[in-house]
Amino acid sequence: YHHTFFEMLGNWSLGDPQYPEKGYYTDEAIIWAWELLTEVWKLSKERLWATVYRTDDESLNIWKNKTDINPAHVLKFDEKDNFWEMGETGPCGPCSEIHINIGDDFNNPKWVNAGVEECIEIWNLVFIQFNRDNNGTLHDLPAKHVDTGMGFERVVAVLQNKSSNYDTDVFTPLIGAISNLAELKTRNEKQTVAVQVIADHIRTLTFAIADGATPGNEGRGYV
C-alpha cells in the first residue's frame, strides 16, 4: 500500500481572521470526513478508527460527541503520529488520522499505527494552528486552517474490497499490459512483485513527464 507516486485527495480551509465565517475548522473537517466515509461511501463504522494528538481534547470530544464512531475507537498518540509539521520551523499543528482495519481482528487497538497491512491510515486531517519559531516555541497563528490528505489508491482498494492496491482497477490494466509484453500467462511470486514494481514506476514516470520532468542520466533527471 506504499507507492513511488501516490495521488493525494483532500480539502483545504484557509482561515481569514477578517472573515472567519468563510472558513471551517475541526468541527466541520471531522464531521464531514465521517459523513463521506460512512454515509456516502458506506464504509463499515466498526472497522474505522480515529487518532488524535495526545493534548488535542477538542478533536477527541468532537469524535466522541458529534459522530457515532465507537468511542473506544478514538485513540491518542504522540508527535510522531499525530502532530504535523513541514520542518523544524514554520506552520504546524495537531492532526487526526482515520484508519481502517480490514482484517479479522478489527476491534484490536494495538493494530492502529502499528504498521500492519490489515490496518492502514486512509485520511489525515491536519489542523494548522501554530507557527514554530527558531527556538522551537509554538505561537498561535492569526488564521488557523485545515489541510487534509487522503490516499487515493488506498481508498480505491477499500471501496473495491481488495486487500492490495495492485488488485484495483488503478493498476490492473498496467499489470495486464506488462504481463502481455513479457509473455507471462502465469506469474510466480517473484514475477508478480517485479510486474508490480514496473507498473508502479511506469505510473510514476508518466505523471512526472506529463508534469514537465525530463528523464536523463544525471542529477534530477536521473532521480
Local confidence pLDDT in tens for the 223 residues of the chain? 789 999 999 999 987 667 766 678 899 999 999 999 999 999 999 999 999 999 999 999 999 999 999 999 999 999 999 999 989 999 999 999 999 999 998 999 999 999 988 999 999 999 999 999 999 999 999 888 999 999 999 999 999 999 899 999 999 999 999 999 999 988 899 999 999 999 999 999 999 999 999 989 998 888 7
CB of 37 closer than 8 Å to CB of 43: yes
pLDDT digits (tens, 9 = 90+) for 92-111: 999 999 999 999 989 999 99
State the pLDDT at residue 17: 65
Distance from C-alpha of 211 to C-alpha of 20, rounded to nearest angstrom: 35
| 142 phi, psi to nearest 5 deg | -65, -25
| 98 phi, psi to nearest 5 deg | -115, 125
pLDDT digits (tens, 9 = 90+) for 77-86: 999 999 999 8
The DSSP H or E segment spanning 43 is none
Q: What is the pTM of this model?
A: 0.90
Tell me the torsion sign for CA atoms 67, 70, 76, 81: negative
The DSSP H or E segment spanning 27 is helix 26-35
Distance from C-alpha of 55 to C-alpha of 147, rounded to nearest angstrom: 19
Tell me how far CA of residue 96 lies from CA of 49, 60, 199, 223, in angstroms: 10, 9, 32, 33
State the pLDDT at residue 21: 67
